[in-house]
Structure formats: structure tokens, C-alpha cells
Amino acid sequence: MAAFVNAAAGSLTASRVSARRVVGAHQRSVHAPRSQRAVLKMQDGYEISEGSSFDANPLVIGLALIGWVVPSSVPSNIPLLDGKGLTPAFVASISDNLSRWPQGPQLADPFWLLMGMWHVGLFATLIFGTVGYNLRKGNY
């Protein structure tokens, strides 16, 4: 099956791809009849459970991103971060590893710990921000 997205109509149309059948030395295309073609509508929103809509507001996602990047940029006394914040230490680790391209970071490289901590904090902030927004709005 091939899927064709019609952006103007906001729908997803699924139809069978024509199959080529070889009969002797001749080829012919076989198309599915119109009665077998299906039209699927794209979902307008998300549902956490049946009947509970969930709004993924881009403003909340942007504010949650800023709400993670700004506090994680504050300098700290953690030895792993060398007196920097988590975001600057992570960016410095990325640039250090990119300078050694095409060799990637070793398993003992602090890049992996920084990457894990930064992304866990980011996703936690995104999830809590979106869930809090939906609870406040009454979509629970």
C-alpha cells in the first residue's frame, strides 16, 4: 500500500499500488477497484485514554524547552561539569568529540553521561509542562 498525503484537505489517502503482471512478453498494470480504496482522516489531537483529549500546544513545548535550558546553564560546583552548567558542559563535550571526527566518543567518555542527564531533564520538563498545561486546562 502507498500513502499519499493531501496537505490541503488534511487527510491521508491510502490506495493500492498498481501491480505489474507479466503475461507472456506483454506487461499490463492492474489497479485496485475504487470500492477497495480507503480514505483515512488524520487525527486533530491526541488521546491519552478513550475520550480524554490531550492538547500538544507548541507554546508549552517552547516554554518547557526554555525552562530546561536556562536553569541547566547555571554554573555549578559539580566536578564532572568543571564549574560550568550542564548545558555548556554538554555543548563543550559535543564540540570536543566533533573535533575528533570521524572517531566517535569512547564508552568511558563523560559525553554519554552528560547526554543522558541533559535529555532526561529535557524530556521530564517537557512531559511535566505539557501534562500540567492539560490539567490546568481541564483536559484530563
First to last CA, the chain: 36
57-77 tens-digit pLDDT = 889 889 999 999 999 999 988
Burial class (CB in 10 A: 0-12, 13-18, 19+), 59: exposed
54 and 30, same domain (yes or no)? no
CA distances from residue 58 to 63, 77, 124, 126 in whole angstroms, order as listed: 9, 34, 16, 11
93 and 132, same domain (yes or no)? yes
53 and 114, same domain (yes or no)? yes
Structural domains in the chain (count)? 2
Q: Which domain holds residue 7?
A: 2-42
66 and 37, same domain (yes or no)? no
85 and 110, same domain (yes or no)? yes
Looking at residue 138, what is its pLDDT?
Answer: 76
6-54 tens-digit pLDDT = 444 444 444 444 444 455 555 555 665 666 655 555 555 666 666 666 6
CA distances from residue 89 to 15, 48, 60, 65, 85 in whole angstroms, order as listed: 50, 36, 26, 17, 6
